[in-house]
A and B are shown apart, each in its own frame.
Chain A
Amino acid sequence: MSGRMPNAQVQKDRSMHLQKQMIAAHYEALERAPQEGRKVVYTFVPGNLAELLLCFDILPVLPEINALQSGMRRLSGSYVSEAEKHGHSEDVCTYVKCDIGMLKRGNIGPTGRKLPPPDLLLLSYTGCFTFMKWFELLRQEYGCPVAMLHVPYQAQGRIEPHHLQYVVEQLRSEVIPKLEEVTGSRYDEDRLRELMRRAVQAEDDLVAVLESAKHVPSPIDGYFGAVYYIGPIFSAFRGTEQAVDYYRTLRQEVEERLRQGLGPVTPEGPLGEERFRLVVEGPPNWTHFREFWKMFYEEGAVVVASTYAKVGGLYDRGFRHDPARPLESLAEYCMGCYTNLGLPSRVALLESYIREYRADGFLIHSVKSCNSFSVGQLLMLRQLEERTGIPGGFIESDLVDPRYFSAANIKNRVESYLQMLAQKRRAREQA
């Protein structure tokens, strides 16, 4: 049974066009950067210091975004193989191998434009050990300097004062001096505050968009759809006017859908009946992203909240960049990103999503590449089932290695899980 509205005309919203323009312009700027003398810094999504980079007029490159874009464009498989030919183990993170493979093939980015080499690698070591090895590998390839920002893990679910002090001191003594050295510009804290003020506007609007899914039916998909919504704010644009405009527009569109009682827009048009409300833990698969999404929307399943949409910050739990305490606020941002949280905090967050978003079920998508996400997920599943009384589903694939996406197997699991939810619902209704 299809939950999708039949024969619907697929229409792109204005926000989609805006985002497309922003991304295209960013990659064009990156291609021109060497000629124009603009500095380029590679960095990671979780704990990214977008406002600080903008403060120095630096163009960021986010290798995870390149990898996932390569995955969506079916380029990643050959990049992964290329890296393995160069001695990278089949066991390790495929984001890393996709990036290394892309580099070995000439560093042509996902949009077909050449990516400039980094002037600096900003290793914001947040929530993932592999990040460290990744940039050590890139340092070897590019021979460029690295600014290391060690972000303490929140094992106990709270930021200790000395954690905050440690990160701020690293920003002052390691990150900012290296940004100054690379750009030849002085750190301007007033400018950083201004960028943060703009970031807050976008953050407010993003939260409104994500939390619209609390409404029944949800006007958005909080996982497959949210992947697009989080793009600008988790990458190069937080703190820009473009991001403010994008999120204002997106929020207006979503609120309009809410007023009209419409469901999410899928690649094949607006969803019809919302049959299942799900919470999802774990990143998506990128090589078969639409096929994966289709397994859900064909069954009328909407993801109302996901943890992946929080890897670049838990804005929905109240965090905002604070212009009054700029460096402290950046430190708190880094430490609060989802994969930097201990497992008990992750379980508590998922439990609250299941309750607040009135979910019928929850699904864990476990990816081979990401131990930061994956280790402990089977225990998380049990804990959530115990705490909520709702059965969970568990599926496995990978981020960007197409060899690990078994479509028939995953579809079978998703369908079986949804059938089980439907049976339980019927049983409840008959009781």
Chain B
Amino acid sequence: MAHDLASILRRARALHEDLDLESVRRWKEAHPGAKAIGHMPIYVPREIIHAAGMLPVGIVGGGDQLEIIRGDAYFQSYICHIPRSTIELALSGRLDALDGMLFPSICDVIRNLSGMWRMLFPERYVRYVDVPQNFDPQVGGRFWRRELEALRDDLQRWGGCGGDDDALRRSIAVYNEHRRAVRRLYDARAERPWAYPAPEMYLVLRAGNVLPPEEHIEMLESYRAAAPRDTSRTPKDHARVVLRGAFCEQPPLGLLATLERAGCYIVDDDWLLGLRWLLEDVPLSGDPLDNLAQAYLRASAPAPSRYEPSGDRGRALVDTVRRRRAEGVIFCAPSFCDPALLEQPMLVPALERERIPYTQFKYAEDTGQFSAIREQAGTFSDSIRLWSEA
């Protein structure tokens, strides 16, 4: 793999533009008989797919590169964009490289999309991944372990090779390292955001949706080292902001570039959150399914789709703002995204109590006009830099 910045970014961009999943087809050609399993946001236990000798492939819709021809006929106008572009990808044959599809429980849209998939593609493997909302190890933990076991059994029955406990431990080790690499990149970006422009950072992370984790670790590490070596990247008088709301339908690259051009350094975000969902390493000794199950209960990223037993919805966001030395928060959610939009009124009071400035707007994955957002983000950045008490 090339380690210079231009090559890394060229590859990451090519993967982003690869709507036909040619990279997945190539992987399958190189691994005869092996299967590829797609999954929707946010979190699925990719370790189990990997351990079965399969390629996990994150699907996050068609973004702004896909013309919707058939997808709109399946969804009413008041439903978010990601299911229509995902259906469009599937109906146009672009997801044919995928042998199966997982739909994690995140909202009613993705949930019902799993049923649509069953009806539209009855010959393909489909599983709804019902993550627990009870965090008692003996209750939610037992349920989740059984769900993980069922997924593992399915994949083994259905053509997986390996997948036994040792294979799963090896896969957990790989994904522990992968999450560490992602965290290192996030830390580096928070330290020097001018060295890691948001659209670039996004592309490099996004490659993790389709690359095998071992390859993606290499890309992450190479990018982390290469980006700051570009001496043209120097600090600007930008506001440091945390971005929230983009955990499912993804913001277009143009939007990320716009935010930065408008004077906002994104020092933390929740896009592609599944890549770093587990906040701690999963232990390697003992029962690997138990370990995965308990890690989910103990150390999941805070997300609107996950019940918060403590009731303090704003605490994690305020902590992130402090830890990243951010000066404000941008709520940037897709239109009609129930979890993100219902969450915002719970987060705002926490920010107001802490006198943390915020602004909010909505997007769709195929939004093409950013002038209003640029103006809003620019005003937000100016207000922080000129008048913030921080």
Q: Indicate whether A and B interact.
A: yes
How many of chain B's residues have a CB under 8 angstroms from any CB in A?
Answer: 58
**How far apart are the CA atoms of A134 and B311 in the complex, in Å?**
13
**Contacts between chains A and B (CB distance < 8 A), count:** 163
Q: What is the distance, in angstroms, from B160's C-beta to the closest C-beta of chain A?
A: 19
A169 proximity list for chain B (CB < 8 A):
138-139, 142
Answer whether residue B116 sits at the interface, using C-beta atoms and an 8 A cutoff: yes
Tell me the bound Cα distance from A322 to B362 in angstroms: 48
CA distance A140 to B350 in the complex (A): 11
Chain A residue with Cβ nearest B343: A133
Chain B positions within 8 Å of A375 at CB level: 75, 79, 83, 108-109, 111-113, 116
A153 within 8 A of B: yes
Q: Which of B256-264, B267-275, B333-341 contacts A (4 or more CB under 8 A)?
A: B333-341
Interface segment among B2-10, B126-134, B180-188, B281-289: the answer is B126-134
A142–B74 Cα distance when bound, in Å, is 39
Q: How far is the CA of A376 from the CA of B147 in the complex (A)?
A: 25
Q: Which residues 327-376 of A sit at the B interface, judged by CB distance below 8 A?
A: 342-344, 346-347, 366, 368, 371-372, 374-376
Chain-B contact segment, one of A124-132, A195-203, A251-259? A124-132
Q: Out of A129, A346, A396, which one reaches B76, CB within 8 Å?
A: A396
Residue B348 CB within 8 A of the other chain: yes
- Give the interface centre of B105, B138, B143 by most chain A CB atoms within 10 Å: B143
How distant is the Cα of A86 from the Cα of B345 in the complex, in angstroms?
8
Q: Is A385 engaged at the interface, CB distance under 8 Å to the other chain? A: no
CB-defined contacts of B150 to chain A, threshold 8 Å: 160
Q: Could you tell me if B338 and A148 are in contact, using CB atoms closer than 8 angstroms?
A: no
**Minimal beta-carbon separation of B38 from chain A (angstroms):** 16
Q: How far is the CA of A153 from the CA of B140 in the complex (A)?
A: 15
Stretch from A67-75, A91-99, A215-223, A296-304 forming part of the interface with B: A91-99
Given contacts A87-B345, A133-B338, contact A366 B142 (CB under 8 A): no
Q: Which of A96, A155, A156, A165 contacts B342 (CB 8 A)?
A: A96
Complex-state Cα separation, A140 to B346, whole angstroms: 7
Residue from B73, B143, B307, B339 within 8 A of A162 (CB atoms) = B143
CB neighbours of A89 from chain B (8 A)? 341-342, 344, 362
Task: Find chain B residues with CB under 8 A from A150 CB.
Answer: 132-134, 140, 307
Give the distance in Å from the alpha carbon of A227 to the alpha carbon of B311 in the complex: 34
* Contacting pair B107 A87 (CB below 8 A): no
Whether A129 pairs with B79 at a CB distance below 8 angstroms is: no
Q: Using Cβ atoms and an 8 Å threshold, which residues of chain B touch A132? A: 133, 307
Q: Roughly how many angstroms separate A342 CA and B103 CA in the complex, as a whole number? A: 12
> B372 at the A/B interface (Cβ < 8 Å)?
no
User: Interface size bucket, A side?
Assistant: 35 or more
Q: Are A378 and B74 in contact (CB under 8 A)?
A: yes
Report whether A133 and B304 are in contact in the complex, using a CB–CB cutoff of 8 Å. Answer: yes
Contact A139 B311 (CB under 8 A): yes
- Assembly CA distance A88 to B341 (angstroms): 8
Binary contact readout B352-368 vs A (1 if CB under 8 angstroms, 0 otherwise): 00000000001000000
Among candidates A86, A140, A376, residue contacting B115 with C-beta atoms closer than 8 Å: A376
Residues in B with CB closer than 8 Å to A139 are 311
Interface 1/0 per residue, A128-160 and B, CB below 8 Å: 111011101101100000101010110110001
Q: Say yes or no: A173 contacts B136, CB within 8 Å.
A: yes
Q: Which of A136, A152, A379 contacts B130 (CB 8 A)?
A: A152
Which among B83, B115, B337, B338 is the interface contact of A155 at CB below 8 angstroms?
B115
A249 is an interface residue with CB less than 8 A from chain B: no
Contact of A371 among B109, B134, B142, B345 (CB under 8 A): B109
- Complex Cα gap A304–B128 (Å): 33
Q: A53–B350 Cα gap in the complex (Å)?
A: 33
B151 → A minimal CB distance (Å): 13
Binary interface profile of B, 86-117, with partner A (CB < 8 Å = 1, else 0)?
00000000000000000101111101111110
Check B132–A378 contact: CB distance below 8 A. no
Is A183 at the interface (CB under 8 A from chain B)? no
B309 within 8 A of A: yes
Which B residues contact A (CB, under 8 angstroms)?
73-76, 78-79, 83, 103, 105-109, 111-116, 118-120, 127-128, 130, 132-134, 136, 138-140, 142-143, 146-147, 150, 304-305, 307-309, 311, 313, 335-339, 341-346, 348-349, 362
Interface contacts beyond A129-B111, A130-B108, A139-B311: sample of 4 additional A-B pairs, CB < 8 Å, sorted by A: A87-B344, A91-B362, A92-B342, A342-B128
The 7 closest A-B pairs by CB, nearest first: A343-B115, A155-B128, A133-B342, A375-B112, A150-B133, A371-B108, A166-B143
